[in-house]
Amino acid sequence: MSDCIFCKIANGEIPSNTIYENSDFRVILDNGPATKGHALVLPKAHYADLFEIPEETLAGAAKVAKEVASNMKEKLGCDGLNLVQNNGSAAGQTVMHFHLHIIPRYSNDCQHILWKPTQPSAEELVAIKNTIVGE
Ligand code: 5GP
Ligand code: ZN
């Protein structure tokens, strides 16, 4: 994708703060970080989102995330860590090249990577389950 910023960053055409790289992935520091160390796992090949990325590449991204997260825990001393992956603008995706957020969390970071729980009835939950898996 010639006009995709993450393709250019992942393939080294645009400089980035790279914290990990292998033949298929580059992991960079997010330039608008939620917390200290917030990073993005970028596949070097272009896939828009979860629906496009092949299973093997997704598994590779998870493997890289685990390795980077373990390193962050040791080096940054974070107290927790969120993996976040947005698909579609309705879900908050702003760059349409698959990326996995690694967000180290600190007890005092005052961030809110949460949702407001709703209260569906038991019948509504069953109806949703039936819609997804079939009755
Ligand atoms: P999304 O909302 O699509 O899941 O996340 C996009 C992320 O990419 C945001 O956290 C944003 O700060 C980050 N981002 C967008 N453009 C750039 C860029 O050019 N360089 C870097 N390092 N991060 C970027
Ligand atoms: Zn791309």
pTM of the model as a whole = 0.96
Sign of the dihedral defined by the CA atoms of residues 46, 52, 54, 55, in that order: positive
What pLDDT, in 10s, does the model give residues 2-39? Answer: 899 999 999 999 999 999 999 999 999 999 999 999 99
Percentage of residues in the chain with pLDDT exceeding 70?
100
70 contacts 32 by C-beta, under 8 angstroms: no
Site to substitute for ligand 1 among 94, 97, 101, most atoms within 8 A of C-beta: 94
Which pLDDT belongs to residue 69?
98
pLDDT at 7 (0 to 100):
98
pLDDT of residue 102 exceeding 80: yes
**What is the CA(54)–ligand 2 centre distance, in A?**
15
Long-range CB pairs of 74-79, under 8 A, 24+ apart, other chains included: 76/36, 76/37, 76/104, 78/35, 78/37, 78/104, 78/105, 78/106, 79/105, 79/106, 79/107
Mean pLDDT of 113-117: 89
